[in-house]
Structure 1
């Protein structure tokens, strides 16, 4: 069956995206359409803060893009050697928190030791941080995107854990999104399943998906990468057929495969 994945490709991977490979192993043909485009900002400020670990109590990364911004700083200013020789070790003496395995892997590639890769959501990560950190530490440093949810900052603030955020990338709709969706529906028809990977993906895609699928919308099994995305889909009136237990290719592919085996209620 045809499965449509509304997500960004993984830049660091060679060959097919891991979600496409995993769905193929279940016998489904997956296609990936990028939903978002990113513009990096405030990299000079980010660089300054990265090289002053003594001013912060630790690091927080909740997206691969934020880690990418760090890598850009190290490469642009040719400070990789300084980072490797002393700075990364100073950060590793503190806590480096992450959400999800993809972000954790990128953080490890910077030479940092991530904590919390199994948390899956910012909500769960915030509870881990609150349990581990004192309120008298220097502020944790959180490089993030322009449309981050306020769950983690709010939870830390309410518990008195100091936090400093810096917006290092802005998120916008991918310029070719509508054209790519139209081409897909024209060539492949309405897919058996569509999966969303972020609330912003829901915001940017849903109207076009509704228009292109028409009366067949109720036949589509909609999947979500996690509870935050599922809630955004439900808020828009979508019937969500499956949610990945964890935000990994294996968990999402298994959830989609199971949903596609179930009879369609058309609700």
Structure 2
């Protein structure tokens, strides 16, 4: 049994273990999750104002599960908001496109009662192409709640094609307070993992240096995996040799890629 270190927070699912742990177990690997990022929600009152004026926007864009969580927090703030959402706001938004990147984000959007478009797009680059194909330049602005360190790929692509966009930072990303302690404990108790998987450029930024230090001269024993091309590029930019990149950002695709790399 090979040990895989996943640098992500556990997915909260009532149905049991995190899907990445489950998928890797089905390939005969033991996986450990260590969260590397911590999130703080901001501007929720402004977000609520925007959500309650669907007529002013041409649609919604979500490129991360966290942005959808911010919307959920807004709606659960009061009974009145919740009622208005289920009575008419949700249906008003559903007359417009709700663009998403990835299955995890799509699932959370569906939990809000919205119908996602683009869940098979694995990256913001691909989603921006879908939006540009579908949208005119004379629509009301698409509303894009996002994180403080979002990449500029999607806004730039839409701006260049004249598709109106309004962004709002609804969460700030920082290093998880326990990441160093948790990584040290992992390397002390489990030893050198067969594979380390990164899930975001921020994850690379916050913990690669520590992993290199903890691995020492046994770094060459580790295969490095990326959840998608953006993360892979961030790893490569730091000089890492990336053994596999998931074809799509799902547990199934990443587990299959890691298993092939570990053969």
Name the TM-score class by shorter chain: over 0.9
- Partners of 1:247 and 1:116 lie apart in 2 by 13
Q: Residue 102 of structure 1 aligns to a residue in which SS?
A: helix
Q: Residue 186 of structure 2 aligns to a residue in which SS?
A: helix
Matches within 5 A, 1:172-183: 172-183=174-185
2:244 aligns to what? 242
Matches within 5 A, 1:118-267: 118-261=120-263
Q: Residue 73 of structure 2 aligns to a residue in which SS?
A: helix
2:16 aligns to what? 15
TM-score of the superposition, structure 2-length normalised?
A: 0.98
2:46 aligns to what? 45
In structure 2, the gaps of 5 or more residues are: none
2:77 aligns to what? 76
Within the alignment, does 1:112 sit opposite 2:114 as a pair? yes
Shift of 1:14: 4.3
2:104 aligns to what? 102
- Partners of 1:63 and 1:87 lie apart in 2 by 22
Q: Residue 137 of structure 1 aligns to a residue in which SS?
A: coil
- The alignment's C-alpha RMSD in Å is 0.7
- Partners of 2:224 and 2:145 lie apart in 1 by 31
2:58 aligns to what? 57
- Partners of 2:14 and 2:206 lie apart in 1 by 25
Given the superposition, is the C-alpha separation of residues 13 and 224 from structure 1 closer, same or farther in structure 2, using an over 3 Å criterion? farther
236-245 vs 4-13, which deviates more? 4-13
- Partners of 2:10 and 2:230 lie apart in 1 by 20
1:25 aligns to what? 26
Shift of 1:12: 3.7
85-94 vs 11-20, which deviates more? 11-20
Shift of 1:220: 0.5
Conserved 8 A contact 2:12-2:18: no
Shift of 1:8: 1.4
In structure 1, the gaps of 5 or more residues are: 262-267
- Partners of 1:58 and 1:147 lie apart in 2 by 22
Per-residue CA distance 1:186-241 (angstroms, 9 max, x = gap): 00000000000000000001000000000111120000000000000000000000
- Partners of 2:152 and 2:14 lie apart in 1 by 30
Shift of 1:15: 2.3
Per-residue CA distance 1:68-115 (angstroms, 9 max, x = gap): 000000001221111011001111111000000000000000010000
- Partners of 2:94 and 2:204 lie apart in 1 by 36
